[in-house]
Amino acid sequence: MSTKQTTPHCPALRVENLAAGYQGVRNAIHDVNFTISPGERVGLLGPNGAGKSTLFKALVGLIPHHQGSISVNGEDCRSSHNLIGYVPQYDNIDWTFPVTVRDVVMMGRVRLLGLFAWPTPRHWRAVDAMLDRVGMADFRQRQIGQLSGGQRRRVFIARALAQETNILLLDEPFSGVDVKAEQEITMVLERLYHEGITMVIATHDLSNATTYYDKLLLLNQTVIAYGEPDIVFTPDTLATAYGGRIGIFHEGRETIVVADEHG
Amino acid sequence: MYDFLLQFEDIISLLDPLLELLLGMNAREALLDPLKYQFMERAMQASVLVGLVSGIIGCFVVVRGMAFFGDALAHSILPGVAIAYIREADLFIGGLIAGIATALGIGWLTREERIKEDTAIGVVFAGMYALGIAIISTQRSYSADLAHILFGNVLGVKEEDLHIMRWCGVIVVATILLFYKELVVLSFDASHARVIKLPTEFLRLLLLVLIAVTIVASLQTVGVALMLALLVTPAATARLLVKRLHFMILIAAFLGVISGIIGLYVSYHKNVASGAAIVLTSTVIFLMVFALAQLNNLRHRLFAHSSNPRKPGGRLSMPNGTSMS
């Protein structure tokens, strides 16, 4: 309904020789290459400070990339109208801001509305449809601060979807929420996955990495490994990405990985 | 205005008992008769206009946490006004140039977070203010002139001033209407504004310039020192009452106008400085609404406790509550 048609041959996201950073650290990430096909669910793994958030910010244009290229649905990101949906780890949002859940989701459509135009009933219907997709329709008249952490995150997913994008970047969608909220977010992402939305999920959680994702992208300043989970998720590559700060235990057929994020 | 309002004497006289109690005169004497004087009529128009426009733009100041910027900008206008005063040029134009230059200067210093915003504001604000005082201090009538600019003189508003104020009001309100949804996105989540590729730098500077225009237009009413109250207080009051920004803006505009009218009458009847009277009126309204909101919150908490200990929304993180909306 809301996703745009893409040419089947076009990768959803193609990143070539990307280098980006911020003030002080010019090359926080460098030589990043990967291609994501439409509808894939990719796990972005790497230790703290590996540049996961930096990669996301470069992809959506929050920080400039001074080298390489990013193409979205086959178009260069700078000319592209296919905006990428980005669900950040909101840290500097004022939750007492006087907006309702519906208002926040409508913010995803501001660019689509165009200059000087006001939302029409059609746009409000689209917003309600997005809230329905993330299971937040009952909360649409609430002030944004009256929601729990998990609910806020689902609203931000709806805001990204309201951009009419088919690519979502989710930065630590499960961090800092309780088990119930995590399940609800998982259900929403599962639904979107089946609707064909391409997803890149940055996560600390290595426990289901091999089963949940179509592909894994192991990042530490640059791409350590990228591809099918069983190729990427090996003791060697993990040790390279996480340095010595990881323990890998084999117990029968199961592999247990313990990453020391604070080491 | 006097003749126009005289038609509504019946309605206005409903206030008779209240005014009889407060001032010992009837509504016609208290409210209509002062407007026979042309200086009062102009002062009333100016107060209403300024209350309206500051109330509207003040909502953005409040939700974006720009109170310090607003105060700084009001003070930074001083050198522009001072130079215009000495050269006998239009004070308004002088102030506007200084205000916009300061707004753009602070915007430029803080772009891409080179310098933290409050630091940049502090440096520019103090420098400009000192420059203004230095210029005025070379004049013989130093203290009188300074007092005029610092505290305003709404009773001295001229017809030309009113004309400029009207135009400023129209420009500010029209610009906000045109860019409303973009300004809301920028204010709520500037990162998101950049993700959806809005011209964030342009919007940020636009808002700064609109605040500058509002301040310069309001200067004669309350002066540099009290300008901040016109921007912040009605908006802060409105924020206690509603949970959506456009309602907040409507209420803030209304409260700004009401404060201007009541304040001006208080000033007239009680012989209080007009700027101070207007600001104190809005402060009293704020305190009353705040007290009511606290009471309402308390009532909600008590009710929620007895009937439904766990609300479906979970953690409530609104400190001031969205009561009454």
**B238 to chain A, closest Cα gap in Å:** 10
User: A147, B313: Cβ pair inside 8 Å?
Assistant: yes
Q: What is the four-CA torsion angle of A54, A171, A157, B178, rounded to 10 degrees? A: -30
Please list every residue in chain A whose beta carbon sits closer than 8 Å to the beta carbon of residue B112.
Answer: 23
Residues 124-153 of A with CB under 8 A from B: 139, 142-143, 145-149, 151
pLDDT at site A80: 59
How much is the ipTM here?
0.89
The mean per-residue pLDDT over the stretch A197-212 comes to 89
C-alpha span between B285 and A5 (Å, rounded): 55
A80 touches B: beta carbon within 8 Å: no
Are residues B112 and A98, on separate chains, in Cβ contact within 8 Å? Answer: no
**Extents of the domains making up chain B:** 12-306
Report the SS3 class of residue B208. helix
What is the predicted pLDDT for the residue at A10? Answer: 84
CB contact under 8 A, A99 and B197: no
Question: Is the Cα dihedral A203, A208, A211, A217 positive or negative?
Answer: positive
Q: Which of B178, B195, B319 lies at the smallest CB-CB distance from A62? A: B195
B310 and chain A: CB distance < 8 Å anywhere? no
Which pLDDT value is given to residue B310?
Answer: 44
A22: Cα within 13 Å, side-chain hemisphere: 14
Maximum average pLDDT range among A15-29, A114-128, B72-86: A114-128
- Predicted confidence at residue B263, as pLDDT, reads 95
Which residue from A84, A116, A148 is facing B314, i.e. has the nearest CB? A148
pLDDT tens-digit series, residues A61-101:
888 888 999 998 887 766 656 679 999 987 789 999 999 99
Per-run averaged pLDDT (10 residues), chain B, 325 residues: 84 87 86 91 95 96 93 90 84 86 86 81 91 86 72 86 92 96 96 92 92 88 87 96 95 97 94 92 97 89 60 42 38
A146 contacts B316? CB cut-off 8 A: yes
- pLDDT in the model for residue B224: 82
Buried b (16+ CB within 10 A) or exposed e, B82-103: bbbbeeeeebbebbbbbbbbbb
Query: What size, in residues, is chain B?
Result: 325
What's the CATH fold of domain B12-306? Answer: ABC transporter involved in vitamin B12 uptake, BtuC (1.10.3470)
Which of A22, A57, A103, A161 has the highest number of chain B CBs within 10 A, making it the mutation to test binding with B?
Answer: A103
What does the block give as tokens for B173? Answer: 């309100």
Looking at residue A244, its pLDDT comes to: 66
If we measure between CA atoms, which residue out of B221, B203, B189, B194 comes closest to residue B92?
Answer: B221
pLDDT at A258: 67
Q: What is the DSSP letter of B34?
A: G
What's residue A65's pLDDT? 86
The pLDDT score that the predictor gives to residue B108 is 86
The distance of A200 to chain B (nearest Cα, Å) reads: 16
Identify the residue whose tokens are 């045109």. Answer: B178
B304 CB near a chain A CB, below 8 Å? no
Mean pLDDT of A218-246: 86
Of the candidates B113, B185, B194, which has its C-beta nearest A62's C-beta?
B194
Q: How far apart are CA A236 and CA B54, in angstroms?
A: 63
Show residues of chain A in contact with B316, CB under 8 Å. Answer: 145-146
Interval A130-168: pLDDT, tens: 999 999 999 999 999 999 999 999 999 999 999 999 999
Residue B187 in contact with partner chain A when CB distance is under 8 A: yes
pLDDT for residue B317: 39
